[in-house]
Structure 1
Amino acid sequence: MAAKQQDRSSRTEKPTPRRLRKAYEQGNVPRSPDVGQAVSLAAFLLWAWAGAGAMLSGLARELRLSLAGAAGPISPERLLERAASSGRDALLLMAPLLLPLLVLSVVGQIAQSGFHPRKQPIPFELNRVNPVEGLKRFVTVEKLVAAGKALLRVALYAAVAALVIVPEWPRVVELAAGTPLQILQAAAAMSLRVLFRALILGAALAALDYAFTRYRWYRNLYMTKQEIRDEAKENEGDPLVRSRLRARQRDAARRRMIAGVRTADVVVTNPVHVAVALRYRQAVMNAPVVVAKGRGYIAQRIKEEARKHGVPIVEDPPLARALDRLCEVGLPIPEALYRAVAEVLAYVMGRRRGPYRTHPEVDPQREEATR
C-alpha cells in the first residue's frame, strides 16, 4: 500500500496525448453504468407516456384469459401450455420496448467516451486464475467504495418509491376489488410517478458518478517526469511525430509571416501567383527588408492581409518574380534590386507622379548568377 501511495505521489504530470491514445486502444475508457441506466429509464418513460395504453390493454386481456382458464379442470399439460402461451404473448407485447431499451443502453455507454474498440488482445495472466489473487482483487478499496455506492443508490431509490406509494396505500387496498384493467391502470400510473422521480434522481447520480469516474480515470493516467522524458525520446525517433512537428512549425511560421504584412510599406505582386511584402525604415535600415513572400494560396493571403490593413499593392510581375527568387523573409533585398524597389517605394509614397512603370529589365536568373 505504501509503495502504491509513493508511486501515485510521484505521478505529477498530466497525461500526454500519446498516453491517452494508448489507454483508449487498450479499452481503458471512463464509463459510468449509471449513465446507461438513466438513458434507458428516460427512453422507457417516453415510450410509456406515448404508447403504454396498447400494452396495458393486451396485458389485461392476457390476465383475463388466464383467470378464465383457471376456472376449468387443471392438468399439468394444460398448465404448461397456458403458461407457454401467456409468456409468448407477453413477450410479443414487451418486445417493442425491450429492443429499444437495449439499443439505447449501448448508445448511452458509447456516448460517454465514443466508440473505442480494444485494439490489443487481452493478455493471459496466470494470476487471474489464482483464487488467492482473485480474492485480493475482490477485497479492495475500490470494490468497497463501489459496494457502498450501490447500497446508497438502493436506499435513495427506495426512499423515492416510498414517498409515492405510502400516501397512496389506502387507495391501493381499495383497488383489490376492481377489475384487472383498473388494477393495471392504477399500478401503471403509480409506477410512472415512481419512475419519473427515480429518473430525476438517477440523472443527478449519473452526472456525479460520470464526473467522478472521469476524474479518477484521468488522474490514474498521470505520469512521472521520467516517463515524460522517455516518451519524448521515443517520439523524436518517430517519423510521423517528426513530420507533424515540422508541419506545426511551418504553420506557426506562416501565421507569423502573414501577421507581419500589416507592418509593410508595399506588396509587389505577379499579380496572381506571387506576392512579396516589403518594409523600409530609412532611419534604422540600410535597405528594404522582405516581411513576407509566397506563391499561390500564400500570395492570396498576403494580398488579403494587405488590403485589410491598407497596405498598397503594386503589380510588377518581373520585380515580384525576382524578389521571390532572390530574397528571404526577414533579410534585406540584394543590391541589384535597390533601384527597382526604390522606384516602387517612391511611387507608393507619392514622390513619383504618373502611371506606374514595371521593371522588365529585372531578370531573376541573371541577378542570381551575379550574386
Structure 2
Amino acid sequence: MTLAIERPVGVFGRKDLPDDWAHEQVTYFQDPETGLRAIVAIHDTTLGPALGGTRFYPYEDESVALTDVLRLSQGMTYKSAVAGLPLGGGKAVILGDPATMKTQALLEAYGRFVQTLGGRYITAGDVGTNSDDLDVIGRVTEHVVGRNVAAGGSGDSAPMTALGVFQAMRAGARAVWGVPSLAGRTVGVEGVGKVGYQLIDLLIADGASVVAGDVNSSALERVVHDFRGVRTTGSIIDLDVDIYAPCAMGAILTGGAVVDIRAKLICGAANNQLAHPAVERQLADRGITWVPDYVANGGGIIQVAGERESAAMDQVRARVEKIFDTTVEVLDTAKREGMLAGAAADTVAEARISSSRARRTSPCTR
C-alpha cells in the first residue's frame, strides 16, 4: 500500500491510514522478564486468518513501531488478496535490537503471546527473524509458518520471495522494453540481506549486470565473495542503472528522491516503498514504471500459505512464478485504463476482498 509515514500516536483517526478500512485488532504485549515488547496488528480477516511476519527491529520509539506495524499489516491484506490466497492481513513487530536482545526465552514469550490470539494471527519471518527463531516460537504456538524443514516447516521464504520479485521484474521489463528478459540490463539492488542476496543470484543467471548497495558492510563483503563481477556501493537509488530494486526497509521512494532516480523501472522486495501516494504520480511523470511492492514480493507468503496446506515445493514454485502473469495483468490494466499501477493493483485486491465479503453477508449463505 502507498501510505504516508507520519509520527502520530495511537490507532484511531490517523491521517496516514484510510478511515473507511480500519484495523480489526491491534494488541500490545510485554514480558518484563525477557524484555519483550511486541505489537500485533490484524488488519482484515475477510479472506481468512491474518498472516504476516514478525519484524524484530530497534525502532526509535513506540510511535514509529506502531506506524510500521499498521502500514505493514494493511499491505499484507492486499498482498494476500492480489495473490489469490485465502488469508487476511496482519503483521507483528518486536521492539529492540535482535543482535543484543534476541533470546530463546524472549521468543518463547512472544510465541505464547501469539497463541493467546487464537489463530486470528499467524506469524512468519521478517526483518530480524529467521526460520531458527520460528522453530523456537513454534514450541509454544501452532500459529506459525516458515519454520525449518526439520521442524515441520517449509524453510526460509527468502528464495521464493526473491523468485517472485525476479518474475515481477521480468514482467516490468516487458512493459518498459518489450522483452521479458533482464539480459544486458543493469540492476541496482538496494539491500542485500536474505532476499536481496537471492535476487542477485537470479539476476546474474539471467544475464543482468548487478550493482549492490547496503549499509551493512558484512552483507556487501558476502556478495563480493560469492558473486564475481558485482559492483558494490553505499547507495543505489541515484545511480545510472536500468532497474532499481529496493530490497531493504520501506519508504525509500520520497518526493525528494524521485528527481535523482535514473532507472526506468523500479521493482523490489521492500514493503511500503512509497513514502506518500503522490510519489507514484511523480515517478510516472518522469517516465518511470513502478511495480507495486505487494505484487512483486508475494513469493514468501505464497510459500507459507502452501506450507499450511502441505503443498509440495514444486507446486509452490509454480504459484510463485505466476507473479509474472499477475504483474503483466496489473501493468497492462494500468496502461489500458490510463491509471497508475498502484491503483490497478489495489483494484484487483479490493475486488477479491469485496466479493468474499459479499458472499459472507448474502442471505443465501447464512
> What TM-score bracket applies, with the shorter chain setting the length?
under 0.3
How high is the TM-score relative to the length of structure 2? 0.18
Whichever of the two has the greater Rg, that structure is 1
Tell me which protein shows more helix as a share of its residues: 1
How high is the TM-score relative to the length of structure 1? 0.18
